[in-house]
Amino acid sequence: MVKQSHKVYVLAMALSLWALTWSVPCPVYAEPTDPLNPFEPRSTSITPDDDSDKNKSADDLIKEALTLQQDDRPLDARTKLLKALQKDPQAFEAHLLLADYYLRQVGHFRLALAYTKQAFKLFEAKAGKAPYQNAHAKLLHRDLLSLLSSVRLNLDNYEGALEVLDEYEALGYYESWLPAQRAWVLLKLGRLDEAIRIARVGMWAGAEPGQTMNVLGILLSMTDAKHAAIKILKEAISYEYSLGEQGHPATPLNNVGEVYKEIFEEGLAHDVWKVAMRLPDGCEHVLPSLNLSMLFMEWNDFAGAKQALDGFEACLAQFPLRGGEEHRALVHMARGRIALHTGKIKDALMHLEAAAERQQWFGKIGTNENDLKVAVLVSLAQALKCQNHHLRLTPPGPLLQRLNTFKLRLENKVRAWWLLRRARQILAEDLKDAEDIYIRHTDSMLEYPTLGELLAGYPQDLLEKRLAEFKKSDRREHAKRYYTAYLAENVLAHGRRQDAAELIDQVITTARPEYDAALRTHAQLLKLSMLPSNGHAYINLSYQIFRSARPELRNHGFRLAVNTSPMPTQVQRVLSKSVFAPNNSLELPCKIKHEIGGKEHALQISCEGGPFTTIRAKSPDLRKAVTNLADAVFEIS
């Protein structure tokens, strides 16, 4: 879920009058630099275009900056403000406007906080402490408090944001955005009932309709009132559309899509997220694109998942000032999962490691730090396990290479175990009532089709009891299929193979062909692990998976039985140590041929009935040729 941002409307007239009353002329310094940004070079940060501002006062420059802001020229406005600070370092108005610039145009929240604090300090040095009798002082103090609350919210300081809102109201200040902002902060603090009450009162009292309805819809979606949430979010969408260019319909569209997905109306969720992405405000935040990408992943449509993220980043490129602290970790997580499920393990590890290391703020979205941390830990552990399977199914090289591979596999195994252990610990200790096990919890970033891999490590009796409670209380029939899959993976991990087989078959036979594709694939992989690798059942099931999600076979350490044409024993021996399992005792859909052309080994695999017709690979080194063929077959674009 995502919250709309309210804008701080600093009154140009109030600023001008206040500045004219209190400004103190100061000497003109050299070219302007950002005094509160420690990462900006001091000599080359801004090159003055001419000397036209040389004889202007700080007041004049601040007025021009306001005009440039209104003309949607934020970078030029920043230059004017920095020049104003060179002329008058005590100009709190410039600090206030720079704080707003870094908050809204750049997303550099820590720098915005630094400017806000300095603006407060300078303002109080001139005006004293609140309350104020002067009307202009009241307006400026109100805007400073609003700005400080927004900055603290974006820095995940929810108690601090609420403290500022309390002061705001205690001084008798009010703006139409206040109920929505207060309700959202209360939600982030876990005070759901109070947040709903505040939002409802705001609706009755005439608060800003779009923001208030959006927040109220989010709040109701976190209760059993899903359809009431959809109704009010639709009203928010209509209201935002009615504002024309000033509206922000992508936000409530995203949120209603999340509710649709939670109630298993995936088609409707897909449609509203597609609409949200195409709107002018569609990339103000990442969630419409991220949600659509994750939905496509549940459908095993990884091209669509990648396209959704590409669309977001292409849209974001129109706003070069924007930083990445509101979205970069989330995008890396999603791209890592796409790479994982398309067989590109090195890319997956690169993205998931980046997701684990990137700074990510959560003030505007319902997800919190632990939601993302657990999601990334699980996906990273899965990627490490998959890399081990790839290494095991790669023909061994010289002794030193084999030793290095053994060392890497051991490191991966230990690290994957630790990551899953840490993820279980966070779920058990930090997330109330294991809320993320509730399928499609709207603010969770977990990959639900494969969540059973994490839950398999829980004590059997404990998880079975917990899942039984969810099955009993959850009225969504499609959700119960997921709970069955999780129980199956857990009992299989604890040695109850017969019980697991029955549960897995239930999942496979009841899975919806399109919407449950990833869950069905995962269940098929579990079933495959229970079958003897030389039997007909294994071969038939492995080809079913091969045709629908072929990278997953190698990802999970399974080999594909293939026919081979007559070839040297050495080639057969190298093939038999790869992901391919030569088997000429049966007529199989796929067949590998080998030729030597010049000094190169040329391999070709042909398959009847898909997922491709023919793939070729070659190399002077036989092991490399086999590895190249495996990569070409088990990686998809």
Question: In this predicted structure, what is the pLDDT of residue 44?
Answer: 40
442 or 617, which is more confident = 617
Over residues 371-378, the mean pLDDT reads: 91
Of 362, 380, 359, 339, the C-alpha closest to 286 is 362
Q: Are 247 and 221 in contact (CB under 8 A)?
A: no
Would 1-175 and 560-634 be classified into the same CATH topology? no
Cα 15 to Cα 457: distance, rounded to the nearest angstrom: 61
| pLDDT recorded at residue 499 | 96
pTM for the whole structure: 0.86
Written as one letter, the residue type at 582 is: P
CATH superfamily of this structure's domain 1-175: Tetratricopeptide repeat domain (1.25.40.10)
C-beta neighbour count of 599 within 10 angstroms: 7
β-partners of residue 560 are 580
What's the token pair of residue 69?
A: 């802001």
Nearest to 441 by CA among 230, 262, 619: 262
Contacts of 513 by beta carbon, 8 Å cutoff, 6+ apart:
none
The predicted structure's pLDDT at residue 318: 77
436, 367 Cβ separation under 8 angstroms: no
Average pLDDT of the chain, as a whole number? 88
pLDDT band at 430 (very low <50, low <70, confident <90, very high): low
What is the predicted pLDDT for the residue at 364? 62
pLDDT in tens, 199-249: 999 999 889 999 999 999 999 998 889 999 999 999 999 999 999 988 999
Asked if residues 332 and 355 have their Cβ atoms less than 8 Å apart, the reply is yes
Task: Report the b/e string of 258-286 with b at 16+ CB within 10 A.
Answer: bbbbbbbbbebbbebbbbbbebebbbbbb
* Alpha-carbon separation of residue 494 from 150, 387, 456 (angstroms): 49, 24, 8
pLDDT class of 288 with cuts at 50, 70, 90: very high
**Mean pLDDT on 388-407:** 95
Q: 560-634: which CATH number, 3.10.150.10, 3.30.160.100, 1.10.579.10, 3.40.190.10?
A: 3.30.160.100
Residue 365: phi, psi to the nearest 5? Answer: -125, 160
Q: What is the pLDDT of residue 315?
A: 86
Report the distance separating Cα 309 and Cα 316, nearest Å. Answer: 10
Q: What is the pLDDT of residues 138-192, one digit of tens each?
A: 999 999 999 999 999 988 899 999 999 999 999 999 999 999 999 999 998 989 9
Fold annotation for 177-247: 1.25.40
Say yes or no to pLDDT of 443 above 80.
no
pLDDT, residue 4, reads 66
The tens digit of pLDDT for each residue in 508-555 reads 999 999 999 999 999 999 999 999 998 999 999 999 999 999 999 999
Q: Tell me: pLDDT of 470 over 80.
A: yes
Give the residue from 554, 563, 557 showing the smallest Cα distance to 587: 563
Eight-state DSSP code of residue 433: G
- Cβ-Cβ contacts under 8 Å for 9 (sequence gap 6 or more): 143
At 367, the pLDDT band (50, 70, 90 cuts) reads low
Strand 590-597 and strand 600-607: the pairing is: antiparallel
The DSSP symbol for 374 reads H
Q: Where are the domains of the chain?
A: 1-175, 177-247, 560-634
- Dihedral sign (CA 194, 196, 199, 203): negative
Helix (H) or strand (E) holding 31: none
In this predicted structure, the answer to whether residue 15 has a pLDDT above a threshold of 70 is: no
For tokens 């891999």, name the residue: 453
Q: Could you tell me which residues come within 8 angstroms of residue 294 by beta carbon, excluding any fewer than 6 positions away?
A: 305, 334, 447
pLDDT, tens digit (0-9, with 9 covering 90-100), for 312-358: 998 888 777 776 667 888 999 999 999 999 999 999 999 999 999 87
Peptide bond into 611 cis (omega under 30): yes
Closest CA to 142 of 120, 121, 157: 120
Pull the structure tokens for residue 181. Answer: 């902002």
Buried residues in 562-579 as b, exposed as e (16+ CB within 10 A): bbbeebeeebeebbeebb
Which strands sit side by side in the sheet containing 600-607, from one edge to the other?
580-582, 560-564, 590-597, 600-607, 614-619
Distance between CA atoms of residues 56 and 52, nearest Å: 8
The residue assigned the tokens 């980046």 is 354
Whole-number Cα distances in Å, 200 to 188, 225, 410, 526: 17, 14, 56, 48
| Chain segment 560-596, per-residue pLDDT in tens | 999 999 999 999 999 999 999 999 999 999 999 999 9
What three-state secondary structure class fits 299?
A: coil
Structure tokens at 420: 């899953």
Strands 600-607 and 580-582: unpaired
Residue 600 near residue 548 (C-beta atoms within 8 A): no
DSSP 210: H
What is the dihedral angle through the alpha carbons of 548, 551, 557, 561, rounded to the nearest 10 degrees?
Answer: 60
What's the chain's length in residues? Answer: 637
